Structure 1
Amino acid sequence: HKNRYFPYYITVASLAVFFILLLLYLIYQRRLLPSIVMIGGFILFVLWLTGLIVISVQLWGPDGSVSSECNIQVFGASPMPKGQTLETLAWLEQRSICQSWQAVFAFGLVGAVFLLWIMVIAYQVFADDAV
């Protein structure tokens, strides 16, 4: 089905929160190993990147992308609605939806970079322990 990417991202984000809580628990117990961080970070990175690709295709895809529809119908609205009317309220809601799509992509990109950073740092710790 076409609209399953938001629940997917919520599920992956829940797994990421659980993973971070697990890391904090293992740190508290002094049992955290770099390999656990690398493997978990890699799995979450792949899942997160998959969601980011799906959002990117929906946002900037070839046919009827969200971005092109927003540019035509919302950001390119002429004249811009003004005053306290239902048209203004509808336009504000549409703009909010368009900006939500942009925010999901931005948060997804930041999350992917964060998970990549976690893997790099874990590898550096792993390499330093091997010496």
Structure 2
Amino acid sequence: MKKLRFGDKARRYFWVLLFATYSVSAAGVMIDVLGDEYRHLSQVAVTTVDSDKEVRMSGASQVAAVYRASSGAPFSTLPAGSTFKVVWPDGSSEYVMIVNPASGTGVDPIPGSQQKAPAQAGDVPAGASADASPTVGAR
């Protein structure tokens, strides 16, 4: 069995620590729009991942602006290229990227990151009727 020298071990632990730190920092910011400061924004109240892209961009831009304004360093918070997760009022979520912090629509949804809202108890699957009972064995 080959023994690793101290330098090799230190180098390996350095990379593991660097990867772990990057993973935690890459997770970024998650903004839940049900908070008091976001709930009543005009472009957020009715937005879901099923909304048009322009509506989602506008809502996410409003959320980003309020998040920046409430931070201690508004000019360095959420710079261009940073990403954050938005949880819309219905529980659906998506990741967005800041493309231009100065623009009213300076946020771009990341394709494929949209997650539908979790099913609520009592929800009826699409195509089924709430009052229809299953007909097992009917011909």
TM-score over 0.5 (shorter chain): no
Which one has the bigger helix percentage? 1
**TM range, smaller chain:** under 0.3
Structure 2 length-normalised TM: 0.25
Structure having greater relative contact order (Cα 8 Å, sep ≥ 6): 1
